[in-house]
């Protein structure tokens, strides 16, 4: 954790001043979201562990890559053009 914190500080020090306000807003949003998120206090079950193992095996079988968004959308008769940027 300490190494990660130091690395983040080093990255922030390298940012140009114009980008610092954007990073500050991002960090504030992350903190606000985590403060308001409900605590996940459900125990991890054997079924959860099994599904995680299956998921990891599936990704390994696929070379560590997921399913391209275009393929997922095509299952629903949609394309990326159906979702214009910024809307």
Q: Where are the domains of the chain?
A: 2-36, 46-82
Give the N- to C-terminal CA distance of the chain in Å, as an integer. 37
Evaluate if residue 85 carries a pLDDT over 80.
no
Q: What is the pLDDT of residue 7?
A: 93
Residue with tokens 């991002």: 26
The CA distance from 22 to 47, in Å, is 41
- Cα 78 to Cα 72: distance, rounded to the nearest angstrom: 9
57-79 burial code (b ≥16 CB/10 A, e <16) = eeeeeeeeeeeeeeeeeeeeeee
pLDDT at 86: 53
The tens digit of pLDDT for each residue in 8-67 reads 999 999 998 889 889 999 999 999 888 887 888 899 999 999 999 999 999 999 888 888
pTM of the predicted model as reported, rounded to 2 decimal places: 0.41
């Amino acid at each position: 954790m300490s190494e990660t914190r130091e690395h983040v500080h080093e990255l922030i020090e390298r940012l140009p001043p114009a980008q610092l306000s954007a990073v500050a807003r991002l960090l504030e949003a992350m903190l606000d979201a985590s403060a308001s998120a409900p605590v996940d206090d459900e125990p991890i079950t054997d079924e959860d562990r099994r599904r995680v193992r299956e998921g990891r095996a599936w990704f390994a079988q696929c070379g560590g890559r997921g399913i391209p968004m275009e393929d997922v959308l095509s299952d629903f008769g949609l394309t990326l053009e159906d979702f214009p940027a910024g809307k």
